[in-house]
Homo-oligomer: A and B are copies of this chain.
Amino acid sequence: MANISRRNILKMGVVGAGTLALSSINATAAANEKDVKFDEEWDVVVVGSGFAGLAAGLTTAKKGNRVLILEKMGRIGGNSVINGGAMSLPNNPVQEKQGIKDSKELFMQDCLKAGLGLNHPELLETLAKRGNDAYKFLVEEGVVFDENVVAHFGGHSVPRTLTTKNHSGSGYIHPMVEQFQKIENCELRRRAKFDDFIVNNNGRVVGVAIRENYRFDDNLYSDDLENTSGEKKIIKAKKGVVLASGGFCRDRIYRKLQDPRIPDDVDSTNHAGATAGVLLKAFDLGAYPVQVSWIQFGPWASPDEKGFGMAPLLTQEGMFKFGFAVDVRNGKRFMNELADRKTRADAEFKILKEAPNAYPIAIGYEDSFRLINPDVVKKALSNDKLVGVCQSLDEIASKYGVPLDGLKESVKKYNEGIKAGNDEFGKPVDQLKGELFKENGPYYVIRLSPKPHHTMGGLKINEKAEVLSSKTGKPIEGLYAAGEITGGTHGASRLGSVAITDCIIFGMIAGENI
């Protein structure tokens, strides 16, 4: 039983006795302001420099507040700056120009369907209501949208996804950082790690304990628990603290506590700093833990490259459509390659649980990539660590250790399904218009592994982006949160391209309310 044998990490202590360099780093409760001496004083402190943190920082700075944004990494922008830049907005200006009919209700229905009805309705409604305010805000900050493109992302009833001119999250982050840095008396400080909250006698958050010159170390099993770098400082936040530190897809301990199927050595589509440290400190302060078990995996990723990588570009619109995936142990297909993310990730996990190194493979051929930008395809295919080129099915069989018979049988069965318009796994083969899987190479092969992509759960916030306390059922005074560190907006599963929407809107709202 594979996942019994992986128990070592969970055994006794999650990181095992004696493996921690200094377990007392974070072992304290939030300090009271009367027990500390403040080194600096600001109006607002924002933790995190991605979409949500910058939106909050800019919005509140424009109201005249002195804002300090903390970023623990050496690089600004977390996952946001490596994001694809797609942002869905119902009733957006580009839809209008193109005559696409959309509505807030339709947007909410789409999100609720993906979220299995578990979305917190008041948060979802806030997204639907404030979409165009977010658009206006971003344009004012210098974000340049591609005004001719409104994409139709999976799970959305209509095309409603905008993108920046440069098709990247950096198209938001760079202008926002530039704008923020122009504002007098504000600062974005890198390598500044949040350690804990400072509270007053009424439980109000009045500051943060941080470490400067922090050197994040991905080689540690848990950077949050083990990293002793940096110098301590106590910062006063007169008006409030905004938590915008993102999700925990790269937190080996906390993601595994929610889903023990995730091996420690599995990569994620996220940047290395996406850990649960700030989230857990907020729970420790009494914030409600909400829907933390829901982790979204990308079934289109590969173990043969780091992070999000190039594989998703080739598999999603390529090999998964014009091609298929097989279990290397028998050469058989094992999923509808176009099913939703959860269904496909679960199918891949099932194989990897039975045989931890038997990564399934996606198989395609040159024609498979015809819907994708040729420059992207060229670049991705040239990565021979990621993509295997095989001249024939025999070569795939010998190179990847797949039984040739099974592989041939899969081609036959798949093509019969296309002819009959009825795929054995329910793949919508009508989309292929009778186009069969090619019986001659060359073939392109990519090994597959589900990678943690987005953590749905987190802190409970209200429509004002205030963090609610389990001690009172009311907001924790002085504490706000926005983006992936919060839970509830997306329910069980976030629809593609709603992350930026969520981060910008609730970041903006936090800034408005401080």
Contacts and interface: CB of A to CB of B under 8 A. Distances in A.
A12 B513 CA distance: 13
A460 B14 contact: yes
Contacts of A257: 120, 288, 290-291, 460, 488
A196 B464 CA distance: 29
Contact of A11 (B203, B280, B290, B462): B462
Interface string A106-149: 00110010001111111011000000000000000000000000
Contacts of A121: 1, 3-4, 6-7, 10, 260
Given A7-B122, A289-B289, A290-B257, A349 B117 contact: yes
Contacts of A225: 472-473
Contacts of A285: 284
A222 interface: yes
A27 interface: yes
B472 A20 contact: yes
B254 A288 contact: yes
Contact of A260 (B30, B119, B286): B119
A26 B203 CA distance: 12
A466 B17 CA distance: 13
Nearest to A225: B473
A436 B290 CA distance: 46
Interface string A1-42: 101101100111111010010011011111000000000000
Which of A13, A28, A464 gathers most chain B CB within 10 Å?
A13
Q: How large is the interface on A (under 10, 10 to 19, 20 to 34, 35 or more residues)?
A: 35 or more
A158 interface: no
A318 interface: no
B30 A29 contact: yes
A475 B11 CA distance: 11
Interface string A270-314: 000000100010011110111111100000000000000000000
Given A119-B260, A254-B288, A293 B470 contact: no
A14 B469 CA distance: 9
A20 to B, nearest CB: 6
A13 B288 contact: no
A293 B457 contact: yes
A469 B254 CA distance: 11
A366 interface: no
A261 interface: yes
B475 A13 contact: yes
Which of A119, A469, A474 gathers most chain B CB within 10 Å?
A474
B289 A283 contact: yes
Given A26-B471, A293-B294, 17 more contacts: A1-B112, A3-B117, A4-B124, A4-B125, A12-B463, A13-B474, A14-B288, A20-B472, A23-B474, A27-B471, A29-B286, A118-B259, A257-B288, A258-B290, A276-B470, A280-B286, A290-B292
22 contacts: A1-B109, A10-B122, A10-B462, A12-B463, A12-B466, A14-B473, A14-B474, A20-B474, A23-B472, A26-B471, A29-B29, A117-B349, A118-B261, A119-B260, A222-B473, A254-B288, A257-B288, A258-B291, A280-B471, A284-B284, A284-B286, A289-B292
